[in-house]
Amino acid sequence: MAQPVNPSPSRPTHVRYVVLALTVAAYMITYMDRQVLATSRPAIMKELGISLITMGGITSGFRLAYALFQIPGGWLGDTIGARRALTLVVGWWSAFTALTGAAWNAGSMLGIQVLFGMGEAGAFPIATRSLSRWMRPTERGFAQGVTHAGSRFGGAITPPIVALGIIPFFGWRAAFYGFGILGVVWAVAWFAYYRDTPEEHHRANQAERDLIGGGVKRKQSGKVPWREIFSHGNLWVLAVMYFFYNYNLNVYQDWFPTYLQQSRKMTLSQMGIYASLPLLAGVVGDLAGGWFSDRVLHWTGKVNLARRWVAIAGFLVSAVATVPAVLTPNPHVSVAWYCVAFFGLEWTVGISWAVPLDIGGDFAGSVSAVMNMLGNLGGAAAATVVTYTAAHYGWNVPFLMTSALCLIAAVMWLKIDATRKVNA
């Protein structure tokens, strides 16, 4: 009769937290690189003679490439492992971040941004896949919350750095060169430290491996079960919800600095400060939403209660707070309300990304890629819709639309079931 394997009596190491920290740093760099463009956009439009609507088309090109390459990115991570895959995609997009600084007209900017979007597309699905091997089920909401908080924090600190510290002294092109180098440094550190499973990492002891996986030796993933993934109807409900979320996210991420300058008449230095405030509020929302979802799961053991109803609350807060943010004539009060609205929106994101971990298991990268693909089609649509409506009807209309979309997303969560797993 086989004897049960006793867990290691030693104290667990903390390699999983270093993995999480590196993942947070990757998420930060993704949003820093995007916010360099968002903050530099008025200066680029002026120097290169690009209109608002043309710039919307360029941004839409990035978003469309980013959306369409989600599934190839997730497949890459599930096929060759997160260590090699994330090194490749971060190196790719960092090169095109730097090349953005060499753009000379609208056409070159569009081409570079499309290639940049192709590279960044793999970031979140592959990172989600990397965490699926390292995080316990009751840590997933918090892990996804803290990674997305890192992205928003990176986005929040970038506008003042670019608007106050780089553009006035070195011009907008220098910002892209510097942030491109940062990504390459991260890629080298990731490849040197990360391993695809805890069993492969020499710094993780048996106690930590037991804590993460219950002492079960996990094999490498096999063939990605695309038929089961694409036929998982509940995943498509999740993806449609994420379409509405991502549309709203990109209204803030891509166009809030321009809105502050054109609608609220802020100077470049004022915009550099106030554009960062909603993103900072989003950092708190990311952390709080994911943490609270995990607490509810720990207290009740009911995954749908922990995911569904906590997310619905965030969307309702965002929908309500957006209305006074748009309508108040005081720009400082307006930004304060936008902070509340973005806090509510970001409260939902760690929960949304925890669901692919809940239902996808070893194929969480591919599952999350489907969700993020459709979500970023929403981001691509936002670039065109926002610039068209702002140019023809004023800036109030695109932001009031985000309130309505939050209400729709809240309704979609009523149909999302985090207990229905993909059967490989």
Residue type, 389: T
Alpha carbon distance 50, 106 (integer Å) = 6
Alpha carbon distance 230, 226 (integer Å) = 6
pTM of the entire predicted model: 0.72
Torsion of Cα atoms, 146 then 151 then 156 then 157, to 10°: 100
Alpha carbon distance 168, 84 (integer Å) = 38
Class of residue 68 by CB neighbours under 10 A (exposed 0-12, middle 13-18, buried 19+): middle
Tell whether 141 is covered by a domain: yes
User: What Å distances lie between residue 389 and 243, 322, 357, CA to CA?
Assistant: 19, 17, 37
Q: Model confidence over 155-172: pLDDT tens digits?
A: 888 988 998 889 889 989
List of residues 6+ apart from 112 with CB closer than 8 A: 96, 99, 100, 102, 103
Count of the separate structural domains present in the chain? 1
User: What Å distances lie between residue 300 and 54, 251, 315, CA to CA?
Assistant: 51, 36, 22
Cβ-contact 61, 114 below 8 angstroms: yes
- Residue ranges for the chain with pLDDT beneath 70: 1-9, 137, 140, 214-222, 362, 423-424
Tell whether 261 is covered by a domain: yes
Residue-level pLDDT at 84: 92
Tell whether 23 is covered by a domain: yes
Instruction: Give the DSSP letter of residue 417.
Output: -
Classify 103 in phi/psi space as left (phi over 0), alpha (psi -120 to 50) or beta.
beta
List of residues 6+ apart from 424 with CB closer than 8 A: 222, 225, 228, 361, 362, 363
Residue-level pLDDT at 9: 56
Tokens of 173: 């092109």
The domain containing residue 277 runs over which residues? 15-413
Tell whether 138 is covered by a domain: yes
Residue type, 246: N
Tokens of 371: 């969700």
Residue-level pLDDT at 240: 93
Tell whether 140 is covered by a domain: yes
Tell whether 171 is covered by a domain: yes
Tell whether 421 is covered by a domain: no
Tell whether 259 is covered by a domain: yes
Q: For residue 53, what is the domain's CATH number?
A: 1.20.1250.20
